[in-house]
A and B are shown apart, each in its own frame.
Chain A
């Protein structure tokens, strides 16, 4: 089913239309609502994790999803990856993820923990994704050779995972996720488990890696969705930042990151994340979850604007 009119991205600055207006989206979600039923041992009330979430990501686009802890951003990513959590009821108008000729999902998801298999050496771990995707051994080896250099892992091909540092393990996990050449990468706080300094370094390195492939022709790149709670990480890496509210997670801001000075964009993001104010000065970029009702700030306005645009 072809999607309806394009959702516009309300942004703080007038940014020229991106190539996603001309190419079909690699990934599209519209009206996604996820409810966790309270059936388990204790019959608790149903919890709505995500409400009416829209997300379109074009090939060659890097989108960051930020939000406070527990807002359902990881759930969103898992559903995109086909890893629907137990007890979740998923309802959506549109939920389009890329599939190959056999109808197999062609997304590659990377969890916060590296998931490296302890009984495989680094090289062999890197090839896990390729093996699942059915990439030939010769091709996979060739790609791994290139990527081990690009990821700063050259010389560690024969290392066991436990012999690698935290940063190297995460890079290896990312390499494993990239190697099959899937058109959609779904990264769930890839560096969230690292210490602050290593994370900063990893982000600077990742920013230079150009996972989405911006240099390539329109549609030839990869769609990348990164989930994070770190506003600065999102601004550094992404072309577009989508802000989710507290649970139930709704899209309260869909912001195109301006080239050059991100100060105003940062301000807008922090305001959207915490509409009750006072966040601009607190800085740090870390988002804390808040409970209770909130004023409808600019996020609500942005959402209303998008609704109108959608018609």
Chain B
């Protein structure tokens, strides 16, 4: 009963919204370049589908590569911070500073330096993705269970043992939690970078559609970005579960927590 409500209620709400939108557009006679009806958006989606394949592949490549680079850099930096306190003092403020600059401001610079190709987009996605991974991993390593650290010390373990046996594995669920957050940003960051300059990708598609006042095409892209982000999140979430098989199902909804 309860589960049904959780599926049924949002579905009904969504359908009601779409029907209201459709009815509203038809009744008011709004021109399609201001707000097309959902039925028209659906028709456009079918029409432009053959065009979209290449754009989707470009965007997914940028987002995937950027996410991977961001995760690796974030985890490596977290490890360095855990191992050497002076790295934390030096790097953390700078890293936080990079996050205060919006993507839209950073993108033109990156495009200026790295051209119109894949590289600036990957760098931009990586820049947005590494921060949540880094913060989550650093937090997890700092919050290592004293019980585990003492156990290792009580068996004669050195700092090296502490790191490999306790700190690093303890940071994995945290880092994966950060990666889940990063996955929700990745597509968006890639699209923004493409929108500013590029030859292919959903951002380019949106840019071209905007120039032609083809609002229905923009809306197709909006839906597509949402769906791709959802799929990417599910993929990362699935990989995270595979990578942490020790986590109890009840604890999985709370990333960064290890079962007691």
Chain A interface residues toward B at CB < 8 A: 81-83, 104-111, 113, 115, 117-121, 128-129, 131-133, 160-162, 176-177, 180, 182, 186
Q: A83-B150, A131-B165 are in contact. Are A119 and B155 (CB under 8 A)?
A: no
A131 to B9 CA separation, bound complex (whole angstroms): 54
- For B153, B156, B246, B259, which residue has the most chain A Cβ atoms within 10 angstroms? B156
A109 touches B154 (CB 8 A): yes
Identity of the chain B residue whose Cβ is nearest the Cβ of A112 in the assembled complex: B147
Tally inter-chain residue pairs, CB-CB below 8 A.
71
B254 in the interface (beta carbon within 8 A): no
| Chain A nearest Cβ from B7, distance in angstroms | 30
B5 in the interface (beta carbon within 8 A): no
Q: A117-B169, A162-B259 are in contact. Are A108 and B246 (CB under 8 A)?
A: no
B:154-170 near A, CB below 8 Å: 154-157, 161, 165-166, 169-170
- A177 partner residues in chain B, CB cutoff 8 A: 155
- B259 partner residues in chain A, CB cutoff 8 A: 118, 162
> Can you offer 23 A-B residue contacts whose CB atoms are under 8 A?
A82-B153, A82-B156, A83-B153, A104-B156, A109-B154, A109-B155, A110-B154, A111-B150, A111-B151, A117-B148, A117-B166, A117-B169, A118-B258, A119-B169, A119-B170, A119-B246, A128-B165, A129-B155, A131-B165, A132-B165, A133-B155, A162-B259, A176-B155
Chain B interface residues toward A at CB < 8 A: 147-148, 150-157, 161, 165-166, 169-170, 172, 244-248, 258-259
The SS class assigned to the B binding surface is helix
A161 to B156 CA separation, bound complex (whole angstroms): 22
Pairs A-B, 9 closest by C-beta atoms:
A109-B154, A115-B151, A132-B157, A129-B155, A119-B169, A132-B155, A160-B246, A119-B246, A162-B259
- B150 partner residues in chain A, CB cutoff 8 A: 83, 111, 115
| Chain A nearest Cβ from B140, distance in angstroms | 12
| Chain A nearest Cβ from B75, distance in angstroms | 15
| Chain A nearest Cβ from B78, distance in angstroms | 17
B246 touches A128 (CB 8 A): no
